[in-house]
Amino acid sequence: MGRWLVVGEGGVLAVDRIVTIAQARSAPIRRLAEAVGAKQMVDLTFGQSREAVVVLDSGHVVAVSLTPEQLVERLEKADDD
């Protein structure tokens, strides 16, 4: 069974599908989020501010309210378990 990354209020991502995690405020990532369109943009911020963007191998772009550092910390913690 695959590993999952909890990204907030009930939102989870399949770890093996993650290509990159980036700061949401960087200009290239903002342009990427705008370019993918509504069909490939997934908002898992649950009303919070967008802190990071996760790009999946399917081409989907996921906005989350956790920082990239928090996401990496959670990934590392899951590796230890």
Q: Does the structure show a pLDDT above 80 at 1?
A: no
The model's pTM: 0.90
pLDDT of residue 71: 96
Q: How far is CA 61 from the centre of its chain?
A: 7
The mean pLDDT value for 5-27 works out to 93
Three-state DSSP string of the chain = CCCEEECCCCCEEEHHHEEEEEECCCHHHHHHHHHHCCCCEEEECCCCCCCEEEEECCCCEEEECCCHHHHHHHHHHHHHC
CB 40 within 8 Å of CB 53 = no
